[in-house]
Chain A
Amino acid sequence: MKTDSIMTMTCEINGSESVFHIHPGDRLLDVLRHAGFISVKEGCGDGNCGACIILLDGRPVNSCLVPAARVEGCAITTVEGIGTPDNPHPLQESYADHGAVQCGFCTPGSILSSYALLRDNPHPTENEIKRALDGNACRCTGYVKKLAAVRGARGCFAADGANRRKGE
């Protein structure tokens, strides 16, 4: 378990095993972006904005406050893992259909928060939706459309049928 300076960390990202050589103090946010998962954004860097949200073993967390070494053996989901431009997840379609994306910087984090909500609670109330998105700041003030997008995607997990990845 003891490690000096460079250490190896293995985790599952969007269903595929990944191995990293990291420093003990590295942030998960940087390690993910460096590995090409650029949907994970840096906004505030201190846990306030939610641009860096990923799913860690299925739960949304701020990756700017997570040491990369901590996720050894864990399952990570980024927005790249829930759908592609050719085959988007129904929730991603709903964000597009409802015009819930303005500059798009906050969108990956918001989609992941919404995704975790709808997976656990397919028909959330308005208050449950607001609470699930309480960690996602949007500087383009697109909150109303986002709520509509999540409302519009209610039940998508039942239709999608998916418990698609480990830890979800």
Chain B
Amino acid sequence: MAKLIPTATRYDRPDTPETLQRLIKNATGKPFLLAGGTSLGFSRPKTEHIIDLNRLPFRECRLTALHDLEIGALTTIGDLERHNDAKSFCGGILTQATDALASTPLRNLITVGGNLAAGYPWCDLPVAFLALNARLRCFDSAQTDCVSPKEISLPHDGQTTFKKLTENQFVSHIVLDGKYANARGAFTKFSRTSTDLAIITVAVTFIPDENSMRSVRVAVGGLVPVPQRLPEVEMMLEGQTFKNFEGQTFENSLFQEAGAAADVILRKDPRASDDYRRNVLKTLVTRTCIKATGVMANEN
């Protein structure tokens, strides 16, 4: 029989974070933490030990009193897309992201935490999370002080680029900033087919304040090794009165200028040339800004 992880000789299913931390700490070699398991479609770890996370109590998704959306790391993408609070959060940006993510059977396996932790450049949710000022609740299995999760902001330490989790970090929750609960947001994915991996993804959020744009966040993924924000574009849009764009055309809008400012250092992608991706990025940033404001009828 073919095996998913041929070297595995041990399988554990912890149901508390304490047990998980103990198992990780006492493991010989690096165990594979199994969430949705779909990363096994891309690479097979050479590990002896599989630790199945699916019995841990981190599967729920809820809106807190501060309007933060707290998403358990083991929530599947399918469950997230069916969740009413997630659907309405920040103009439906999460629904736009999950709509574009893999296929129906895969969405029933892929977890929110796994999508974040896998660290693949094509993962869609981290880009939306960056635009939503997400925080991660993390356990550090290397610490002796066991089950006290720490909150870290995404990206860490005020940087603009997403930092991959370290080996010892286990995420229990992703917390989306309540400030953006009733804000405007949009997500765009560019790929060859509806179920293909992203070539480029763009997420834009802002808080409408008297028709102007505040706390603008623009994040991109797919064409960069890890998702990152575009601070120049954000600065250009900050404080602009978006209602002024009503009736304007795509070609002469401020959003077009914002798109033109979008620039990043590209990773290699055999599917599309660098020039092509740079051009498409500019258009996608423009379009995603327009989609987030909802002001322009004619965006072509």
Contacts and interface: CB of A to CB of B under 8 A. Distances in A.
What's the interface size class on A, roughly? 35 or more
A121 B106 CA distance: 19
Contact of A30 (B1, B6, B9): B1
Interface in A23-43: 23-27, 30-31, 34
Interface stretch (A62-70, A88-96, A99-107): A62-70
Contact of B10 (A24, A45, A60): A24
B295 interface: no
Contact of B78 (A24, A59, A65): A59
Given A69-B50, A134-B103, A134-B195, A61 B108 contact: yes
Contact of B9 (A24, A31, A64, A131): A24
Contacts of B7: 25
Nearest to A52: B105
A48 B34 CA distance: 19
Contacts, number: 106
Task: Indicate the member of B3, B50, B54 with the most A CB atoms within 10 Å.
Answer: B3
Interface of B: 1-14, 34, 36-38, 40-42, 50, 52, 54, 78, 102-106, 108-109, 194-195
Contact of A25 (B8, B42, B105): B8
A37 to B, nearest CB: 14
Interface of A: 1-5, 7, 23-27, 30-31, 34, 45-48, 50, 53, 56, 59-62, 64-67, 69-70, 72, 113, 131-135
Interface of B is mostly: loop
Contact of B2 (A45, A70, A133): A45
Given A24-B10, A70-B54, A60 B3 contact: no
A5 B5 CA distance: 12
Task: Indicate the member of A2, A5, A45, A70 with the most B CB atoms within 10 Å.
Answer: A70
A70 B38 contact: no
B32 to A, nearest CB: 10
A34 to B, nearest CB: 6
